[in-house]
A and B are shown apart, each in its own frame.
Chain A
Amino acid sequence: MNALAARRRHPAAITVLLLLGLILTGAAYSLLAPKQAQAALASEDQVAAGKSLFLANCASCHGLNAQGTLSGPSLIGVGAASVDFQVSTGRMPAAGTGVQVARGVAKFDEEATAAMAAYVASLGQGPAIPEEAVTSGQGADLARGGEIFRVNCAMCHNFAGAGGALTWGKYAPALKDVTGRQIYEAMVTGPANMPKFTDTNISPEDKNNVIGFLKAIETQPQQGGYHLGNLGPSSEGLFAWVFALGLLIGAAVWLGSKAA
């Protein structure tokens, strides 16, 4: 004990301590870190097919080895989920460069998409395509899903998922007609300016709750009548000025022109 105390001020002590700390954190991380789901085992053939599709359609921007170029980011480690999201929502292959690649119609079928996803997943570990069980929204706790949505998503996507503006022409799109799988993938991959929500932020179960909530508010009847785009009070104000005022002034003009 005395010896240790004596060396406490040895110049190397600080380095040793730092090293020790680093090793410990590293070990703890490898034990506790969220496990990246392993991609469902992809066959060699699928990866090969994916690679040739990739070279034909994507390499011009993402590089021959998906290492990234000036016109597209590196795809190493983005995972199968990212490719599945980008391609199935029709964002990729991007048509050109703009502030943000817009959603469009998917240009590849399931099989081709899966092949490219498998190819990209083979380049480095990343989020895998999620299981049906956590993307269907079945059995979701809607109240919890709603709370998570309001806290984590509504500031960009609006309370009803009607979309919202970000800076410099970027935007969070409306969440209509998006599949449960795409919602899940968006959360784990964080496309464009959207943050990533890892399994520690929002557990897979809660992701399913969010999906259930979004599906519920999309399909439930409009309790109050037509919702005017769910944009909040501004569309209501516009409606009041144009439609309701028009109606009332029309009535006033009609009545005013009526002879007694």
Chain B
Amino acid sequence: MSTAAAPRGAAPRGAAALRTDDPAVRPEPTGTVKKLGGLAGWVDDRTGVAKGAGHMLKKVFPDHWSFMLGEIAMYSMIICLLTGVFLTFWFVPSMGEVPYDGSYIPLQGVQMSEAYKTTLDISFDIRGGLLIRQIHHWAALMFVVAVMVHMFRVFFTGAFRKPREINWVIGTVLSLLSIVEGFAGYSLPDDLLSGTGIRAAEGFMQSIPIVGSYVAYFLFGGPFPGEAIIPRFYTAHVLIIPAILIGLFTAHLLLVMVHKHTQYPGPGRTNSNVVGFPLMPVYMAKAGGFFFIVFGAIALVSALFTINPIWAYGPYDPSPVTAGSQPDWYMLFADGGLRLLPGWLEIPIFKWTLSLNVAIGALLLIPVMYTLIGIYPFLEAWVTGDKREHHLLDRPRNAPVRTALGAAFIAEYFVLAMAGVNDILAIKFHLAINSITRALQLLFFVLPVIVFWVTKRLCLSLQRADRNLVLHGRETGNIYRSADGEFTEIHEPLDPYRRWTLVQHEVGTPLALGSTKDANGVESPLSKKARRRARWSQFYFRDSVAPVTPAELAAAHHHGEHDALPSAESATHVGPSEH
């Protein structure tokens, strides 16, 4: 395996001892790009891109499957863009009424909008159309799934810390845009389900206090449904949002290049290098291959499994609505929020109605959620007071409170999403929908707390287990009996490489709760603020489990209980515990 370690400028620090026998850093080939051929040279002579491109192509990218989640998102988005172009060739975003005369028999003769008719035509009368539609929709679902899982990866490993906060914020906006883009697309075919979704969206707008009905009127170009909404959604779906998505996503990737990718802790990996493969050719080959794997997997799923069978839903008509009307999965949490809100929040005031039962779920939930996500890196940095750059990722267990907060967030999201499918749960599990809703209302408040606590405890236990492993080695299961009849289990010491991973992290210490009085014994507003921060710091670090220090390890050796422990010399290879 050829591994390149690109220095991040600063000299390697604590890990030097381990890195002495690392393979020497290969000298970077120079001028390769210029030799790519006459054409490249021609282009370069005129544009001078070679220098920049060559720099990019030599970037080192670490290898880990979880770093490919962002790629899955990227590829699904590209697949959506490609298949979307195909769909625009035939789709007509118009509410004009036409009779259906295509080949789907159960709808022949039905009056429908042109939008719905052309979607049916794509599905039944255009060669390959249904497959492309299904690829488009499955890729859209996978896009949002991958964005979310990618975000979890970034969160739980602490990859959002300085200097990557801006990229986290860009990511948050991308994630919000991806669900808005999805919703706009879901609304276009004007089938019964998408029309119901638009109807719901109209209701959300109307729940804005005071100006609600005017806003809805304005956006729909008159009373619901009107003629304007589908063409407007179309412009948003194929032009505005994709343009912003592509722009932000380019910025996102450029920032990844600028910051260089983070890496998991391990021997030879420091805060100031990147261990991995150069982008060109190794990573390019892998990434390029992965694109085709993702495309292939999504095409396979699309060929075998129906998605959004608009022909079965029928054309939109404001009077009917079908059982099991749900948005696509990424909007379930918002729908669920609405389903959980109690009806008494609808408050009549004289001749007006304040629909808090709708407004809280429909108008507040998404902004509050995304604001919290967006500002998390800054909140954490404030609490921990950590202003340093981080290029080494945290193992999730080594940041118990962060991990627990993330898990609690997921639990809350899950409760909301489940509320969004309460009717499906009722029928599939033979439960009463009313009890499900009650239970979820309760869980909304209780589950995150439980999950927080359990996750934090789990992390701390895992950390302690790590400590044990480092101090006493792996339990071999071999029991020996000494001459005096004493039984001992042989523990096999960890090799220094594995041990490194378990001891390299640092552990935060909570800020001390200082006095609220300043030096003169006067109540100081400044120190009040400091105390508040200290309290949060306590919350974060109170129960920290410190990694094994070299001294502790040496002491464990000295104890002499393990014959097979390594010599004292190798114990100095234990990573530094910096504070």
- Seen from chain A, the residues whose Cβ lies within 8 Å of a Cβ on chain B are 99, 142-143, 145-147, 150-151, 154-160, 162-169, 171-172, 213, 216-217, 220, 222-228, 230-241, 243-245, 247-249, 251-253, 255-260
List the 8 closest A-B pairs by CB distance, nearest first.
Answer: A164-B323, A237-B329, A224-B306, A256-B65, A169-B432, A165-B426, A252-B68, A159-B322
Given the known interface contacts A225-B304, A226-B306, A233-B326, the answer about A244 and B106 at a Cβ–Cβ threshold of 8 Å is no
Main SS of chain B's interface residues?
helix
Taking a contact as CB atoms under 8 Å apart, the answer to whether A216 and B323 are in contact is: no
Given the known interface contacts A167-B434, A251-B290, the answer about A147 and B141 at a Cβ–Cβ threshold of 8 Å is no
Residues of A within 8 A of B426 (CB): 165, 169, 171
Taking a contact as CB atoms under 8 Å apart, the answer to whether A232 and B326 are in contact is: yes
Given the known interface contacts A232-B324, A240-B141, the answer about A147 and B110 at a Cβ–Cβ threshold of 8 Å is yes
Given the known interface contacts A159-B192, A223-B130, the answer about A249 and B65 at a Cβ–Cβ threshold of 8 Å is yes
Contact of B329 among A165, A224, A234, A243 (CB under 8 A): A234
Taking a contact as CB atoms under 8 Å apart, the answer to whether B142 and A240 are in contact is: yes
Residues of B within 8 A of A259 (CB): 1
Residues of B within 8 A of A217 (CB): 106, 312
Taking a contact as CB atoms under 8 Å apart, the answer to whether B309 and A223 are in contact is: yes
Chain B 408-459 residues near chain A, CB threshold 8 A: 420-424, 426-427, 430-435
Closest Cβ–Cβ distance, residue B133 to chain A (whole Å): 8
The yes or no answer to B16 lying at the interface (CB within 8 A) is no
Given the known interface contacts A164-B423, A252-B290, the answer about A244 and B145 at a Cβ–Cβ threshold of 8 Å is yes
Contact of A154 among B64, B286, B320, B329 (CB under 8 A): B320
Residues of B within 8 A of A255 (CB): 65, 68, 286, 289-290, 293
Taking a contact as CB atoms under 8 Å apart, the answer to whether A150 and B317 are in contact is: yes
Closest Cβ–Cβ distance, residue A209 to chain B (whole Å): 11
Taking a contact as CB atoms under 8 Å apart, the answer to whether A155 and B321 are in contact is: yes
Q: Which of B64, B145, B427 has the most CB of A within 10 A?
A: B427
Residues of A within 8 A of B239 (CB): none
Chain B 44-76 residues near chain A, CB threshold 8 A: 63-69, 71-72
Docked CA distance A156–B307 (Å):
22
The yes or no answer to B84 lying at the interface (CB within 8 A) is no
Nearest to A222 among chain B residues (CB) is: B306
Nearest to B423 among chain A residues (CB) is: A165
Residues of A within 8 A of B65 (CB): 249, 252-253, 255-257
Taking a contact as CB atoms under 8 Å apart, the answer to whether B309 and A227 are in contact is: yes
Q: Which of B123, B302, B421 has the most CB of A within 10 A?
A: B421
Taking a contact as CB atoms under 8 Å apart, the answer to whether A151 and B282 are in contact is: no
Taking a contact as CB atoms under 8 Å apart, the answer to whether B305 and A233 are in contact is: no
Residues of A within 8 A of B492 (CB): none
- Seen from chain B, the residues whose Cβ lies within 8 Å of a Cβ on chain A are 1-2, 63-69, 71-72, 100, 104-110, 123-124, 130, 134, 138, 141-142, 145-146, 149, 192-193, 277, 282, 286, 289-290, 293-294, 297-298, 301-309, 311-314, 317, 319-330, 332, 420-424, 426-427, 430-435
Closest Cβ–Cβ distance, residue B295 to chain A (whole Å): 11
Taking a contact as CB atoms under 8 Å apart, the answer to whether A260 and B145 are in contact is: no
Residues of B within 8 A of A228 (CB): 305-306
Residues of B within 8 A of A156 (CB): 323
Contact of B314 among A147, A165, A252 (CB under 8 A): A147
**21 A-B pairs whose Cβ atoms sit less than 8 Å apart in the complex:** A142-B105, A143-B110, A151-B319, A155-B321, A157-B323, A160-B312, A164-B322, A168-B434, A216-B105, A223-B104, A223-B123, A223-B130, A224-B309, A234-B421, A235-B424, A244-B138, A249-B69, A252-B66, A255-B65, A255-B289, A260-B277
Q: Which of A145, A164, A236 has the most CB of B within 10 A?
A: A236
Taking a contact as CB atoms under 8 Å apart, the answer to whether B142 and A245 are in contact is: yes
Residues of B within 8 A of A213 (CB): 106
Taking a contact as CB atoms under 8 Å apart, the answer to whether B2 and A260 are in contact is: yes
Nearest to A237 among chain B residues (CB) is: B329
Nearest to A155 among chain B residues (CB) is: B321
Residues of A within 8 A of B303 (CB): 225
Docked CA distance A190–B67 (Å):
57
Docked CA distance A110–B264 (Å):
72
Given the known interface contacts A225-B304, A256-B64, the answer about A234 and B432 at a Cβ–Cβ threshold of 8 Å is no
Contact of B324 among A99, A164, A252, A258 (CB under 8 A): A164
Given the known interface contacts A236-B141, A244-B298, A255-B290, the answer about A158 and B322 at a Cβ–Cβ threshold of 8 Å is yes
Instruction: Give 12 new A-B contacts, CB below 8 A, not counting A142-B108, A249-B65, A258-B286.
Output: A159-B322, A163-B427, A165-B423, A169-B431, A172-B323, A225-B305, A232-B193, A232-B325, A236-B308, A245-B145, A257-B65, A260-B282
Taking a contact as CB atoms under 8 Å apart, the answer to whether A216 and B106 are in contact is: yes
Docked CA distance A172–B420 (Å):
19
Taking a contact as CB atoms under 8 Å apart, the answer to whether B297 and A244 are in contact is: yes
Taking a contact as CB atoms under 8 Å apart, the answer to whether B324 and A162 are in contact is: yes
Taking a contact as CB atoms under 8 Å apart, the answer to whether A150 and B192 are in contact is: yes
Residues of A within 8 A of B141 (CB): 236-237, 240, 244
Given the known interface contacts A158-B322, A168-B432, A224-B309, the answer about A143 and B1 at a Cβ–Cβ threshold of 8 Å is no
Closest Cβ–Cβ distance, residue A210 to chain B (whole Å): 12
Taking a contact as CB atoms under 8 Å apart, the answer to whether A233 and B328 are in contact is: yes
Taking a contact as CB atoms under 8 Å apart, the answer to whether B427 and A159 are in contact is: no
Contact of B106 among A146, A164, A233, A245 (CB under 8 A): A146
Docked CA distance A244–B143 (Å):
11
Nearest to A168 among chain B residues (CB) is: B432
Closest Cβ–Cβ distance, residue B364 to chain A (whole Å): 23
Docked CA distance A21–B332 (Å):
55
Taking a contact as CB atoms under 8 Å apart, the answer to whether A227 and B306 are in contact is: yes
Taking a contact as CB atoms under 8 Å apart, the answer to whether B309 and A230 are in contact is: yes
Docked CA distance A35–B265 (Å):
83
Taking a contact as CB atoms under 8 Å apart, the answer to whether A143 and B108 are in contact is: yes
Contact of A155 among B146, B294, B320 (CB under 8 A): B320
Nearest to A159 among chain B residues (CB) is: B322
Closest Cβ–Cβ distance, residue A212 to chain B (whole Å): 9
Taking a contact as CB atoms under 8 Å apart, the answer to whether B322 and A150 are in contact is: yes
Taking a contact as CB atoms under 8 Å apart, the answer to whether B68 and A167 are in contact is: no
Residues of A within 8 A of B130 (CB): 223-224
Residues of B within 8 A of A147 (CB): 110, 314
Taking a contact as CB atoms under 8 Å apart, the answer to whether B430 and A224 are in contact is: no
Taking a contact as CB atoms under 8 Å apart, the answer to whether A240 and B326 are in contact is: no
Taking a contact as CB atoms under 8 Å apart, the answer to whether B124 and A165 are in contact is: no
Closest Cβ–Cβ distance, residue B103 to chain A (whole Å): 10
Given the known interface contacts A165-B433, A237-B332, A259-B1, the answer about A154 and B323 at a Cβ–Cβ threshold of 8 Å is yes
Q: Which of A163, A169, A213, A227 has the most CB of B within 10 A?
A: A169
Taking a contact as CB atoms under 8 Å apart, the answer to whether A167 and B433 are in contact is: yes
Taking a contact as CB atoms under 8 Å apart, the answer to whether A236 and B329 are in contact is: yes
Taking a contact as CB atoms under 8 Å apart, the answer to whether A260 and B322 are in contact is: no
Given the known interface contacts A159-B192, A253-B65, the answer about A146 and B107 at a Cβ–Cβ threshold of 8 Å is yes
Nearest to B433 among chain A residues (CB) is: A165
Taking a contact as CB atoms under 8 Å apart, the answer to whether A231 and B290 are in contact is: no
Nearest to A156 among chain B residues (CB) is: B323
Taking a contact as CB atoms under 8 Å apart, the answer to whether A239 and B305 are in contact is: yes
Taking a contact as CB atoms under 8 Å apart, the answer to whether B297 and A248 are in contact is: yes
